[in-house]
Amino acid sequence: GANLNAILGVVRPGDMGFDIVHSNLHKTFATPHGGGGPGAGPVAVVERLAQYLPGPVPRRTPDGPRWVMPEHSIGRVHGRHGNFLVVLRALTYMLALGGPGLRAVAERSVLNARYLASLLSDAYTFPYDAPCMHEFVASASEVKRTTGVRAMDIAKALLDEGIHAPTVYFPLIVEEALMVEPTETESRETVEAIADAFNAIAARAATDAAFVQHAPHRTPVSRPDDALAARKPVLTWDDMEPNS
């Protein structure tokens, strides 16, 4: 969602008939999103809607650069100062790569995703019969049916292999969903190593389900309480409770 990773330099949303486009900067343009942000998602519109964009906006005037509120603007909607460096980083990334570089990003991200999906097709099921773009959703439903091992167990087992776990159980319409985004920066060797890990976990589930269900085994922290972690994140020493 709101991600241009697969179409950079290939197609333009405006040419596809979109009047308004919201584009997240994280992942696609190498900006952070974890730990609460600061994320940023600029909104682009066709020219006839530009007069309604939030303000103020920068304008050159006879008195020099000024912040101006357009006549038909919907006004202020957000205190944007916390997002400035994220936007600047994304712009720097775009300028560094240039047009051909951005197109290469899209092409490689799609290639990596499709290659990885093909390598997983024997051990996992896919809820749709269509080629993916820069990401894909596989399902561990058959693994769960035959072994009792769930998508979350597979994600935790991947941590033992030094692999960042994929998003699990999203989208909600896919049973035991595993959302995988390999990105354009991974080499063929890395993509194949990731596939080997996924497939080895599925094979281990068939012979020793309990081992996978209790993963990870080699990380400093095993399985935290996900709900508690979301409600009370501990991001600094000051957040820690005494004797914890």
pLDDT higher than threshold 80 for residue 209: yes
pLDDT higher than threshold 80 for residue 33: no
Rounded CA separation 100/102 (Å): 6
pLDDT higher than threshold 60 for residue 144: yes
Please tell me whether the peptide bond between 127 and the residue prior to it is cis, using omega within 30 degrees of 0.
Answer: no
pLDDT higher than threshold 60 for residue 1: no
CB-CB contact of 140 with 196 (8 Å): no
pLDDT higher than threshold 80 for residue 23: yes
Residues 6+ away with beta carbon under 8 Å from 206? 146, 147
CATH number corresponding to 107-228: 3.90.1150.10
- pLDDT band at 6, cuts 50/70/90? very high
| Amino acid found at 24 | N
Q: What is the pLDDT of residue 81?
A: 62
CB-CB contact of 169 with 152 (8 Å): yes
Q: Which helix (H) or strand (E) holds 97?
A: helix 84-120
Q: What is the pLDDT of residue 42?
A: 85
Residues of the chain with CATH 3.90.1150.10: 107-228
Mean pLDDT of 145-166: 97
Which tokens belong to 168? Answer: 């699990």
| Amino acid found at 243 | N
Task: Output phi, psi for 117, to 5 deg.
Answer: -60, -40
pLDDT tens, residue by residue, 106-129: 999 999 999 999 999 999 999 999
Mean pLDDT of 91-107: 97
Single pTM value for the model:
0.86
Q: Which helix (H) or strand (E) holds 139?
A: strand 136-139
